[in-house]
Structure 1
Amino acid sequence: MAHVITDACIACGACLPECPVSCISEGDIYEVDQNSCIDCGACAGVCPTGAAQPE
């Protein structure tokens, strides 16, 4: 199971440096590469809006 980033994303960038496998891509709403995500939850731990969630 991977994490996803919901519409609550404000593109603040807090999650980018936390991802140990660099599977998050920037955009208006950030996206997680589902094939690369190791489900560590590091992104969810730093997201100020709670947009990063387990799938």
Structure 2
Amino acid sequence: MKDIHVQSKVAMAKTLHAHGVNLPYIAVATGLTPRKIRSELKLAIKNKINKRKL
């Protein structure tokens, strides 16, 4: 299980991305690396697609 601190940052990154904020600004706001943000957003998108298939 992920650390709750990282989970909250990822949730914030997802919200910012959903509102159209660019990746560099999300990285500054969350303190996460752009690579980590991209990987987490990809996982979230895959999970959303898989839920729709069910």
TM band (smaller chain):
under 0.3
Give the TM-score of the pair, scaled to structure 2.
0.26
Give the TM-score of the pair, scaled to structure 1.
0.26
Relative to total residues, which structure has the larger strand share, 1 or 2?
1
